[in-house]
Structure 1
Amino acid sequence: MLPPVRYLGPLSAGALAVGFAVLWIVVGPPDGGWASFAGQLAGAEAVLLMSLAMALISLLPVVETWFDGIDRAAIWHRRLSVTGLVLLAPHVMFSSGHRAPAPGGGGQQVGGLLAQAGVWGLLALAAWAIAPRWRTMLPWIGPHLARTAERVTAVPVARRVLAVCRWIFGGYERWRALHRLTGLFLAAAFVHGLLDGTMFGSVVLHWSYLITGGTGLAFYLYREIVARHLTALHDYQVAAVTTVGPGLTEISLTALGRPIVFTPGQFAMLFLETGAGWRRHPFTISSAPHDRFLRFTIKALGDDTTRMQTLVRPGMPAVVGGPHGRFDRSRGTDRQIWIAGGIGITPFLSWLRALDQQSGPAQVDLFYSAQGKAPFADEITALAEAHPGLRVHLHDTTTSGYLTADAVLDTVDTDPGRLSVFLCGPAQMVDSFVRRFRRAGVRSRNLHREHFDWR
């Protein structure tokens, strides 16, 4: 039996990386120097993985199909990039001091400079990308760092320095602009390998390296130069900005031309011209395809989303790109469970609002977990009353604690093998639910999640 579609992309990427390593090992070093060769192989694998990472964010439709959604492609882009950076350590350790002499030494010198530029540039971008997630990656050190930060910020000079650092490194748009330099640092590392490699006595190794690195750079150039001219964009105008809960804003847009065609549960790239300039973010669409307005429900999680209510006003222009994503209820069985945590209700809102025009599964149990009164609770309850196959379970964490997978299974009381489960919410919550459902007997191919946390 073939694996679920969502695994085909990662499996094929893994097979390519393994096949590349096997090819190099079979050919072997021309001079028998296996230690140096291992270092060169680690560097070549790093270039291969980062080239694959470039392909995954190229915005080509075939990539989204290959990885079952652009959100999964973005997650694997990050994983492949980090793995490639880790491989640079053995490359440096085993390759240093074992370089073949180059005529005149000029190629070696340039190669060394390019190596330093590529390695340090990629490490800096990786550190910057990981920095916002330090609290979740290192929960045990969080309280200590918080106390240290309080003591440091008590000093006026230190407070000013930190403010400058936040201005330089803060903000999604600034991070996104500098993150586009990844391809240039990859190019530096790639050319370094061509100029400074000791394994290129073999034509096979030379061409395998040239093809993989060159392909990655071709994808990078496509994204930076060509993709923007081929991406489908739709002109809209802000019709309303509504506060629907604490830190929760719903933006309604009206089409100025051809509207976007989407499947309930998909997300789109939303470009908004605000008082602070144009802002671009991926948001899940919360309206149904037939609705008069295109709606996005946005939670204040970053700088731009926090200021959304004050920066965005009716009448402002907007551009919508997409749609993207594969979070589609039609991929499930007739017996489904929908689980939403907080802002994770967004794709389910689109599903619910589309029930009048698109028939849903035979029976659905929606579990909506929120702190206090759940936003949209009245609308969701009214929809459930109009559709007998839909049962809604509103869970208030302030009075009932966290929602658990066991509580869901006890409430549904159905053979897990018949269930399809769709989840959207905080990553830790979704991960724990997925593990428990698998142990309970829900098939992996019937577990679906939206990876909105990659945004």
Structure 2
Amino acid sequence: MAGHPGLPVRWTGPAGIMGFSAAYAVLWYLMRPGGEAVPGYLGQLFGGESILLFSIALVLISTLPQVEHIFGGIDHAAIWHRRLAITGSLLLVPHIQLAANPAATSVGKALAVIAATGLAALVVWAVLPRWRTMLPAPVRRMVLDFREAWPVRLLRRLLGGYERWRGFHRLTGLFVAAGFLHGLLDASAFDAVPGLRWSYVAIGGTGLAFYAYRELLARHFLPHHDYQVERVDIVAPGLVEVSLLPLGRPLKFKPGQFAMIYLETKQGWQRHPFSISGSVRERRIRITVKALGDHTAGMPDAVLPGMPAVVSGPYGRFDRDAGTGHQVWIAGGVGITPFLSWLRSLEGKLEGTVDLFVTSSGTSPFAQEIAGIARAHPGLTVHFVDTDTDGRLTPEMVLGSVAVEPRRLSVFMGGPDKMLRQFGKAFRAAGVRRANIHREYFNWR
């Protein structure tokens, strides 16, 4: 495990990003050339920091195993990719306002417009699916009414769709390249201080090299496995389980990991990350899918037995072996998926003690299966929480049911993002070590 002793690997990546960003700002401060006006120089610094953050963001989505290891899973890397892209775009605002160069080239100006427009569009498009969580309740109602106006409905049809967004998202590197070249052409500080220029070239060149690798070479190095849809079972309203049979060498994975699934549906090939819910002892792969977005909502009708599929991976570091001897597993809604894989893969005696909390609206569709597994493993205690009759599960309810000192406890969580953030904050306040709180991000794209 890299990083500080006792800290999970995923925390070393973000700390490194913040440290690198601060160091780059200090470099600009120390190497400020004489004669450069403070506002203009500060504007150029914001532009350089923006390129730095976007370059790191390109590294994070390169699909290299080393990146996944540092961040504790590709899902965590994807979350930080989005955060860095948003922050990098925000830095462009003061850069545009302050970095005025009377000698700017016409080509550099055109590249700046292309980069700023493209990156801003990417960020807005990425944030749009999450707008409900960003607005207060009174404003939310007004926005919902506005969405029903026919021009807005037309725009949603043009922009909507995961595959369309993903295709446009692949242009990120080209927009970053435009911004990078704009800096090389028009940054006045680079003429006065070659060290700033070459550090900028190293940073931007690294990010673009990783982008080129992902777009041109990664497909030749990442293993892909041919599968076929065996069956599609409706587990509950809006919840389906898809079984895929290997046509050749099956994918080897660890319980709790996910795979990138390419499915040839009635609407053509579609790609999406899915947590694996089946046992490692099966040759087939099982994924449990809830209708959360435009791609998954139509899966029961679009995916039929016999259709081909391609599986790449596995990805993720959601691993119960990283926990302490006494663990709490919290599964909210479709967040139960990785825990199903853990449960279905149990073999022999369960190591340690586990309290599993399964919360759902109504009886969990997997209640009978989970109860049967628990009867075979005395170290596993299951707490079913029906929110319709029992109310919502709270961190206090969890801690009150577990007879262990919080600092010796490990918590693994899967479920809605808002719920997990609240639980994580409450567990830390109660004394659970940050290093022992693990969660799965299943709502990234």
- Same-fold status (TM-score > 0.5): yes
The match for 2:329 is: 338
**Segment drifting more, 332-341 vs 13-22:** 13-22
The match for 1:363 is: 353
> Out of 346, 349, 352, which is 2:340 matched to?
349
2:123 pairs with 1:126: yes
2:409 pairs with 1:412: no
Q: Which amino acid aligns with 2:34?
A: P
**Segment drifting more, 335-344 vs 134-143:** 134-143
The match for 2:14 is: 10
* SS of equivalent to 2:381: strand
**What is the Cα deviation at residue 55 of structure 1?**
0.4
The match for 2:320 is: 329
**What is the Cα deviation at residue 304 of structure 1?**
1.9
The match for 1:375 is: 365
Asked whether the 8 Å contact 1:30–1:199 carries over to 2, the reply is: no
2:286 pairs with 1:298: no
Asked whether the 8 Å contact 2:12–2:70 carries over to 1, the reply is: yes
The match for 1:137 is: 134
2:52 pairs with 1:48: yes
Whole-angstrom CA distance in 1 between matches of 2:411 and 2:255: 16
Whole-angstrom CA distance in 1 between matches of 2:441 and 2:126: 17
**What is the Cα deviation at residue 148 of structure 1?**
3.6
> Out of 65, 68, 74, which is 2:69 matched to?
65
Q: What CA deviation, in whole Å up to 9, does each residue of 1:202-246 have, x standing for no partner?
A: 110110111111111111111110111111111111111000011
**TM-score, normalised by the number of residues in structure 2:** 0.96
The match for 1:246 is: 237
* SS of equivalent to 2:188: coil
**What is the Cα deviation at residue 428 of structure 1?**
0.8
**TM-score, normalised by the number of residues in structure 1:** 0.94
Q: Which amino acid aligns with 1:448?
A: H
* SS of equivalent to 1:268: strand
Asked whether the 8 Å contact 2:225–2:249 carries over to 1, the reply is: yes
The match for 2:184 is: 194
**What is the Cα deviation at residue 163 of structure 1?**
3.9
**What is the Cα deviation at residue 137 of structure 1?**
1.1
Q: Which amino acid aligns with 1:218?
A: A
Equivalent runs, 1:95-244 vs 2, <5 Å: 95-96=99-100, 98-99=101-102, 101=103, 108-140=105-137, 141-150=139-148, 152=149, 158=150, 161-200=151-190, 201-244=192-235
* SS of equivalent to 2:313: strand
Asked whether the 8 Å contact 1:336–1:361 carries over to 2, the reply is: no
* SS of equivalent to 1:375: coil
Asked whether the 8 Å contact 1:29–1:37 carries over to 2, the reply is: no
Whole-angstrom CA distance in 2 between matches of 1:125 and 1:149: 20
Asked whether the 8 Å contact 1:265–1:350 carries over to 2, the reply is: yes
* SS of equivalent to 1:133: helix
The match for 1:105 is: none
* SS of equivalent to 1:279: strand
Asked whether the 8 Å contact 1:333–1:361 carries over to 2, the reply is: no
The match for 1:282 is: 273
The match for 2:27 is: 23
Asked whether the 8 Å contact 2:10–2:69 carries over to 1, the reply is: no
Whole-angstrom CA distance in 1 between matches of 2:291 and 2:145: 25
* SS of equivalent to 1:453: coil
Q: Which amino acid aligns with 1:142?
A: R
Asked whether the 8 Å contact 1:30–1:202 carries over to 2, the reply is: no
Unaligned runs of 5+ in 2: none
Q: Which amino acid aligns with 1:335?
A: H
Report how many aligned residue pairs link the two structures.
Answer: 439
* SS of equivalent to 2:234: strand
* SS of equivalent to 1:452: coil
Whole-angstrom CA distance in 2 between matches of 1:218 and 1:18: 23
> Out of 234, 248, 258, which is 1:267 matched to?
258
* SS of equivalent to 2:443: helix
Asked whether the 8 Å contact 2:350–2:377 carries over to 1, the reply is: no
Asked whether the 8 Å contact 2:58–2:81 carries over to 1, the reply is: yes
Q: Which amino acid aligns with 1:86?
A: L
Percentage of pairs with the same residue: 54
**What is the Cα deviation at residue 306 of structure 1?**
1.0
* SS of equivalent to 1:321: strand
The match for 1:448 is: 438
2:407 pairs with 1:403: no
Moved over 4 A (4+): none
